């Protein structure tokens, strides 16, 4: 399996697809865990059905047409199937390689994603959208004037809400006596998740770490998962340049689990971890003030299936005295956000979100916590009445001052 999307994916997207696909014995044990199969019980919307399609297209690329590729495009890439596969099929790698072969979906909102992946233009665009209250009036206008061409923009506008304010505090100077970590801000997460990034920095410093903030840039996940190979390669090159001088023993942490798998792929020589899980394992000196609330914790697909540290995240939250930590049930396995999936397949994304929000409602929680920015924006758009935030933001707010060094 390649560690860099700009090598074999660019020059030979079909490389290894057939070999990877042949590891699947078609046992069907993945079917109960696939969110898209659960919606319609269609074999073509299942992991093994998509593996068959991938193998056929790799052997005969001219067979690619709209009908065949739709089932591959609609895959969430949640990797539920990979986690439960007894044959250890690398489904995520099959999906990445096959999408590199067929290219981005025809309905991919390239211009919108292009803006959101660049922190400065995204900052200006989002500030203007909030100042003009676009979410309140523009979607209805777009549905009337350009209903088909502006679907992705309508979905993106529905995600807009008040942005949590981050306390502007620079990292403490690096100290030789402290362990050193690097914090990756991401692209859109560096803006919309600024409060979570600041919270991660505060908690890490309180736990005894020296924190280095890396430059805000796109890891390439959106492009890699959508088959936009050239763009993913450029993102990989920028990311590698930003991390070139990092010592190999410096952990690179992300507060956005959705970036985790791609960061590991693009930076195989570095140790990449989710910031929340890392704090759960290394933040033993942290102490928190009591909080008498019920929180529903939504665990993103990447927490369950990539970092696989979901229990660590729950354990960290349970360090807050008086906090009732309620895990949102795993079914349907994905909330529907899935990178750009909600922008390209909004009807399917809404169906999956509705199932998750029903589970959340059953928990009767005071707030909803989710560590992935895409999941949080998507879920919040479906229930504006429930406060929604990153787990790290809550933890930093409850942090006892005496635990700081």
What does the buried/exposed string (b/e) look like for 205-226 if buried means 16 or more CB atoms within 10 Å of the residue's CB? bbbbbbbebbebbbbbbbbbbb
| Tokens representing residue 312 in the block | 């660590």
Read off the pTM. 0.86
How far is it, in rounded angstroms, from Cα 157 to Cα 149?
Answer: 14
How far is it, in rounded angstroms, from Cα 120 to Cα 191?
Answer: 9
State residue 297's pLDDT score: 96
Strands 209-213 and 272-274: unpaired
Residue 152: alpha-carbon gap to chain centroid: 18
The percent of residues in the chain predicted with pLDDT above 70, rounded, is 81
Domain with CATH 1.10.1060.10 in the chain: 8-102
Dump strand ranges (E) for 204-361: 209-213, 252-254, 272-274, 294-298, 324-327
> 386 falls in which pLDDT band (50, 70, 90)?
very high
State residue 7's pLDDT score: 39
pLDDT for 59 beyond 90: no
DSSP state of 21: H
Task: Report pLDDT digits (tens) over 214-231.
Answer: 988 899 999 999 999 999
pLDDT for 16 beyond 50: yes
CATH topology of domain 286-403: Rossmann fold (3.40.50)
Number of H helices, E strands in the chain: 23, 8
pLDDT for 62 beyond 50: yes
State residue 2's pLDDT score: 38
Q: Which residue has the tokens 């979901």?
A: 310
State residue 404's pLDDT score: 43
Q: Which residue has the tokens 């088959």?
A: 227
The percent of residues in the chain predicted with pLDDT above 90, rounded, is 55
State residue 157's pLDDT score: 60
pLDDT for 133 beyond 70: no
State residue 273's pLDDT score: 93
The stretch 187-191 carries a mean pLDDT of: 85
Task: Report pLDDT digits (tens) over 341-371.
Answer: 988 898 999 999 999 999 999 999 999 999 9
Domain with CATH 3.40.50 in the chain: 286-403
Classify 8-102 by CATH class. mainly alpha
- Tell me which of 103 and 14 has the higher pLDDT: 103
pLDDT for 148 beyond 60: no
């Amino acid at each position: 399996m390649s560690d860099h999307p700009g090598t074999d994916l660019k020059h030979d997207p079909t490389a290894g697809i057939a070999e990877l696909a042949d590891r699947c014995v078609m046992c069907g044990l993945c079917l109960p865990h696939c969110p898209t199969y659960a919606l319609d019980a269609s074999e073509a919307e299942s992991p093994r059905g998509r593996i068959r399609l991938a193998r056929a297209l790799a052997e005969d690329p001219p067979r690619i047409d709209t009908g065949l590729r739709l089932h591959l495009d609609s895959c969430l890439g949640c990797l539920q199937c990979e986690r439960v596969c007894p044959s250890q099929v690398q489904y995520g790698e099959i999906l990445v390689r096959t999408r590199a072969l067929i290219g981005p979906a025809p309905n991919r909102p390239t211009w919108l994603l292009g803006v959101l992946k660049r922190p400065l233009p995204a900052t200006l665009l989002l500030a203007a959208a909030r100042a003009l209250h676009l979410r309140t009036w523009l979607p209805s206008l777009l549905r009337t004037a350009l209903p088909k061409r502006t679907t992705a923009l309508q979905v993106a506008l529905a995600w807009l809400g008040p942005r949590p304010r981050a306390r502007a505090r620079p990292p403490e100077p690096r100290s030789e006596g402290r362990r050193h970590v690097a914090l990756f801000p991401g692209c859109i997460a560096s803006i919309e998740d600024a409060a979570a990034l600041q919270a991660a920095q505060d908690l890490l410093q309180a736990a005894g770490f020296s924190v280095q903030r890396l430059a805000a840039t796109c890891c390439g996940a959106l492009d890699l998962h959508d088959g936009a190979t050239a763009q993913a390669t450029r993102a990989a090159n920028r990311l590698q340049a930003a991390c070139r001088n990092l010592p190999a023993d410096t952990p690179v942490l992300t507060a956005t689990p959705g970036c985790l798998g791609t960061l590991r792929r693009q930076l195989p020589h570095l140790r990449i971890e989710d910031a929340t899980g890392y704090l759960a394992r290394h933040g033993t000196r942290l102490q928190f003030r009591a909080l008498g609330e019920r929180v529903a914790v939504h665990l993103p697909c990447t927490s369950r299936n990539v970092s696989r540290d979901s229990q660590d995240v729950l354990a960290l939250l349970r360090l807050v005295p008086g906090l009732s930590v309620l895990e949102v049930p795993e079914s349907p396995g994905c909330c529907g956000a899935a990178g750009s999936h909600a922008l390209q397949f909004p009807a399917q994304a809404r169906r999956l979100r509705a199932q998750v929000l029903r589970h959340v409602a059953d928990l009767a929680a005071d707030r909803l916590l989710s560590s992935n920015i895409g999941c949080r924006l998507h879920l919040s758009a479906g229930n504006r009445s429930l406060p929604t935030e990153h787990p790290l933001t809550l933890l930093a707010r409850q942090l006892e001052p005496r635990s700081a060094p």
